[in-house]
Amino acid sequence: MSGCRDIPLFAGHPRLRQSLSRAVLAELPTPVSRLRGLEKHLHIQRCDIKSDGFTARPFGGNKIRKLEFLLGEALRQKRRSVLTFGAAGSNHALATALCARKTGLRAVCLLAGQPNAGYVRRNLLAHLGAGSELHGYANPAALKRGALVQSLLESLRTGRLPMIIPPGGSTALGACGFVNAGLELKRQIDEGLLPEPDRIYVALGTMGTAAGLLLGLQAAGLDSELAAVRVVPETMANARAFQRLYLKTRTLLRQKDPSFRLAEHGMKRLTIRNEFFGMEYARFTEAGMEAVRLAFSLDGVHLDGTYTGKAMAALISDARNGDLKDKNVLFWNTLNARGPEAITGHRDFRKLPEYFHRYFEEDVQPLDRPAEAADSR
Measured torsion, CA atoms of residues 271, 275, 280, 283, in degrees rounded to the nearest 10: -110
* Near ligand PLP in 319-348, by CB under 6 A: 334-335
Q: Which of residues 249 and 308 has its CB atom nearest to ligand PLP in the complex?
A: 308
Instruction: Determine the Cα–Cα distance for residues 6 and 250; give it in Å rounded to an integer.
Output: 22
Contact between 203 and ligand PLP per CB under 6 A: yes
Contact between 182 and ligand PLP per CB under 6 A: no
Residue nearest to ligand PLP (CB): 205
Number of residues that bind ligand PLP (CB under 6 A): 19
Residues 176 and 72: beta-carbon distance below 8 Å: no
Contact between 168 and ligand PLP per CB under 6 A: yes
Beta bridge partners of 106: 81
Rg, Å, the chain Cα set? 20
Task: Name which position in 12, 205, 288, 309 contacts ligand PLP (CB under 6 A).
Answer: 205
3-class SS at 106?
strand
Instruction: Determine the Cα–Cα distance for residues 201 and 333; give it in Å rounded to an integer.
Output: 9
Contact between 206 and ligand PLP per CB under 6 A: yes
We find the least distance from the C-beta atom of residue 189 to ligand PLP, in angstroms, to be 22
Contact between 91 and ligand PLP per CB under 6 A: yes
Residues 237 and 245: beta-carbon distance below 8 Å: no
We find the least distance from the C-beta atom of residue 258 to ligand PLP, in angstroms, to be 27
Q: Which of residues 114 and 206 has its CB atom nearest to ligand PLP in the complex?
A: 206
Could you tell me which stretch among 36-44, 200-208, 276-284, 289-297 binds ligand PLP (CB under 6 A)?
200-208
Scanning the chain, the segments in alpha helix (DSSP H) are 8-12, 14-19, 36-42, 63-76, 91-102, 118-130, 140-145, 147-157, 172-190, 208-219, 239-256, 286-299, 308-320, 341-344, 358-361
Contact between 85 and ligand PLP per CB under 6 A: no
Query: For binding to ligand PLP (CB under 6 A), which residues are involved?
Result: 61-63, 91-92, 168, 170, 203-210, 307-308, 334-335
